[in-house]
Each structure stands twice: as structure tokens, then as C-alpha cells.
Structure 1
């Protein structure tokens, strides 16, 4: 069964947390797809992942570039899986109807938006009802994650 994790961004924004989680997935040998809410947001995340840390390189691309199937991390605003990812990240208002094709699905939602918190709760209930293992992770003031 798919693990469905909920990451509550309380202290640091998505742009600080996402690269760390992607790096951990790649260390495990997992391919990832990050689903954003719009093509503009995909472009912004693409730019950010090239520049977030001068000392790091996070191999990635978008589904609009050639050979998306070759990307270890693929950014998209659609719900398909062209790079055969084992882990799917859902950021902001992205929605995935069927999590069963993944080892792990990660919902990342911002503390500053009550509507997104409400949608995350709905997604939690739906994932539990579907029989998935669910877990909730929260940031501390240093940006570290703890399972609650």
C-alpha cells in the first residue's frame, strides 16, 4: 500500500523544504515527480531548483522539455507519471486521484493558508479511507521535520 505523507510547512516555505526532501528521495534511489498547480508555478520551481544552493546540484527538468522520461526529478502541472517516479509530491493545490502507483505520495501545504489546511485534511481522510498508510510531519523552528 502507498504511504501518504503530509508535510505541514509552518516555519519555512516550500522553496526551502522541497529541495531537502527531493535530495533524500534521490539518496534512496527513488525517482520523483513534483506536481504544481500551474505551468507558471512549475517554471518558478524549475528556476528555484537550479539556484537554491550554490554548493548543490539537484538534477531535474520539466515535462515540457525533451525526454522527460530521463529526469530523476520531473516538474509538472499534470497528473501523469512520464518519468516512472516512485514518489509524487503534491504542492499547493495539486490533486492526485489515484495514489496506488507510487511508493509514497507527499502532500506539502502551507500553514498560512487555511483553505489549503482544510484541503489537506480532506486528502488525509480520503487517503485513510482508501487504505493507505498516512503520516503527518510538522516543521520545527529550525526547519527540521518531526512525525506527529
Structure 2
């Protein structure tokens, strides 16, 4: 069974953490579903990934709903994507099920610790997922590094 890795982002811009984790996952040869709760935010992130990531860190990706969805190494969408994805990254309180966690190599649930509503939503997800039997780990950003603080 996989585990949900909760990343409590407090120092870095959320999009920088997303880009770093996506890059590392692509290096593993994984296909990644990036799920968000707000289509406008995902459209912004899509544009940011094309314009702001360094040339040597190009991250091939696309927004769900296009003709090439089945071929995207990273697919950004608001609903569970059909197809085989090795990893799942959830932002902005996007729902993840215990079954999805069990079926993936890696699951990240990122939340902005500077946003109290996002922090509360992540706490609710932790309780729901661990209550459903999913394994979970909590990572906190401290002095530019990620420290594992808890696991279930």
C-alpha cells in the first residue's frame, strides 16, 4: 500500500515545490496526475510551468480535456484522470481517496501553511485518509529543507 505525503509549505512558493517534485518524479519515469480544486489556478500553474521553469528543468505537461491527455507525462486537472498514472499530486484541498493512494507509487498532498483554511483542509484530509486505513507522512519545511515530523 502507498502512502500520502503531506507537504506543509511555509517558506517556498507552492509552485516551486510543485516544479521540484514533478521534476524528481519525471526523473523516476513516472506519469503524474496533478489534481487541483480550481480550474483558474490550474490554468495559471500550466502557464507558469511553461514560462517560469528553468530551461534545463523543462516539465512536459498539459491541461486535462485535450486530445493528448493519454500521452501527457504530467496531466493537470480538477477531477480524477482516467488512465495509468504512477503518482498523484493534490493541491488546494483536492480530494484524494485511500484507494488512489494504494494504487500509486507516490502521492503528495501539498498545502500552503500560510493559509489557515488550507491547513484546516489538510488536517481533515489526514484524519479521513488515515481513518480509512491509508498510510500517511507529514513533512514540514524548515530552513529550506523538508523534515518528516509524523507518520501513521
In the superposition, the TM-score normalised over structure 1's length comes to 0.90
Secondary structure (helix, strand or coil) at the match of 1:117 reads helix
Q: 2:103 matched to which residue of 1?
A: 101
Deviation digits for residues 82-135 of structure 1 (CA, Å, limit 9, x no counterpart): 342121111012112442332322110001111111111111112212222210
Unpaired runs of 5+ in structure 1?
none
Cα distance in 2 between the residues matched to 1:87 and 1:2: 10
Higher share in helix: 2
CA RMSD of aligned residues (A): 1.5
Cα distance in 1 between the residues matched to 2:141 and 2:129: 22
Deviation digits for residues 8-50 of structure 1 (CA, Å, limit 9, x no counterpart): 0010121111010011111122110101112211111111111
Q: Which runs of 4+ in 1 moved over 4 A?
A: none
Q: 2:127 matched to which residue of 1?
A: 125
In the superposition, the TM-score normalised over structure 2's length comes to 0.88
Cα distance in 2 between the residues matched to 1:125 and 1:89: 18
Q: 1:66 matched to which residue of 2?
A: 67
Unpaired runs of 5+ in structure 2?
none
The range that moved more, 43-52 or 91-100, is 91-100
